[in-house]
Amino acid sequence: MTSPHTSPSSLIRRRRRVVELPESDPVIDAMPPALRQDVAKTWERRAHEELKVAAAFSVLTRELLETRGDPMVLAGISRGVNDEVRHAEVCRSLAGKYRGAEVPWPAEVVIEPSTRADDRRLRTAFHVVSMCCVNEAIASSYLDASLAGAQSPSARIAVGELLADEVEHARLGWIFLARLPSPYRAAIESNLLTLVRPVWQCWWDATHVTLRDGAPEHGLPSVATTRSCAIAALRDIVAPGFAELGFDVGPLLEWIRRATADHAVAPSSLLTEPSRLENAST
């Protein structure tokens, strides 16, 4: 008998291959050389970031294994490790298109998971919330805006590939939450802001961003758009999602409201209207 948690088709993935970028790209060909190199550098850095996410998902995979996590979620998160490695190759390949030369595989990624002996199931739940429910939702919003602005056929293919997977990774968080026993849900509810704020802060921090105005036609939104995406994802996806499951999201909504006011974030309607994006790119 098949358990709802182990539906066989939920445990498999159709054969995937690394998406191929077009041989020629007139949008890239028409770029100023200096911008072309800057965009190449950004996509090269993005390849390394994707490997960091792969490492993070590998930690989460181990935690789900150690805590007898939901099989459907375990299957999805473990596939996520491979997804993120594939994303690194997509970004590396795209960087090469802009560079006009082969770009090396990213540098090593070293992470140090906590060795604290606490409630492992609770730690796992907190990781799922922040990695999937929050971070991947913001990533989806960011990539959606990236795709809306992208004109380069190569960038559109690459961003579309990443977006499809990130939506799936975000969805895993809500599957996990929906099946989580109530004591764990209560612990998440009590610590929701603690978990959300650092994720938001990472998206807000532009320390490593070299193209602050972005290159929207090449799938790279500006810092301002990125920050708007972070706020919009929290307000329109994350908070309503928790509310749907019966969580008290009052404090989260109040924090979002204050963060939006404090940082004068543009309405999220600016993110997805092509005309606005076109204006932003000029």
Partner 1 sequence: MGGEPQRNKLFHAIVGLGLAAAGCGGKDQAPIADAGPHDANADASMPPDASTESEPQPDAATSIDATAAADVAVDVAEEIWHPIVIQ
Residue 247 in contact with partner 1, rule: CB under 8 A:
no
According to CB under 8 A, which one of 82, 197, 247, 278 is a site residue for partner 1? Answer: 197
According to CB under 8 A, which one of 21, 28, 61, 203 is a site residue for partner 1? Answer: 203
**What sections of 67-191 are H helices per DSSP?**
71-99, 120-128, 137-149, 153-178, 182-190
CB under 8 A: which stretch of 22-30, 32-40, 93-101, 137-145 binds partner 1?
A: 137-145
Which of 85, 103, 101, 86 minimizes the C-alpha distance to 43? 103
Residue 165 in contact with partner 1, rule: CB under 8 A:
yes
Residue 27 in contact with partner 1, rule: CB under 8 A:
no
Which of 212, 227, 237, 221 minimizes the C-alpha distance to 260? 227
Residue 153 in contact with partner 1, rule: CB under 8 A:
no
CB of 236 to partner 1, least distance (A): 4
Question: What is the SS3 assignment for 220?
Answer: strand
Tell me the per-residue interface mask from 36 to 55 with partner 1, x by CB under 8 A, - otherwise: ----------x--xx-xx-x
CB under 8 A: which stretch of 23-31, 100-108, 157-165, 252-260 binds partner 1?
A: 157-165
202: which 2 tokens?
């990472």
Residue 19 in contact with partner 1, rule: CB under 8 A:
yes
- Residue in the structure block whose two tokens are 């606490």: 118
Pairwise CA distance, residues 40 & 155, whole Å:
11
By the 8 A CB rule, do 100 and 60 touch?
A: no
**What interhelical angle do 120-128 and 153-178 show, nearest 10?**
140
CB of 118 to partner 1, least distance (A): 5
Pairwise CA distance, residues 221 & 213, whole Å:
7
Please list every residue from 53 through 112 that binds partner 1, using CB under 8 A.
Answer: 53, 55-56, 59, 68-70, 72, 75-76, 79, 111-112
269: which 2 tokens?
């309607």
According to CB under 8 A, which one of 81, 85, 237, 259 is a site residue for partner 1? Answer: 237
Question: What is the SS3 assignment for 61?
Answer: helix
Q: Which is nearer to partner 1, 100 or 240 (CB)?
A: 240
Q: Which is nearer to partner 1, 27 or 270 (CB)?
A: 270
Cα separations in angstroms, 207 against 85, 201, 215, 223, 281: 24, 11, 17, 10, 21
According to CB under 8 A, which one of 20, 29, 244, 248 is a site residue for partner 1? Answer: 244
Q: Which is nearer to partner 1, 30 or 263 (CB)?
A: 263
CB of 158 to partner 1, least distance (A): 11
Using left for φ > 0, alpha for ψ between -120 and 50, and beta otherwise, residue 22 falls in: beta
According to CB under 8 A, which one of 62, 160, 213, 278 is a site residue for partner 1? Answer: 160
CB of 56 to partner 1, least distance (A): 5
Pairwise CA distance, residues 87 & 163, whole Å:
10
CB of 262 to partner 1, least distance (A): 20
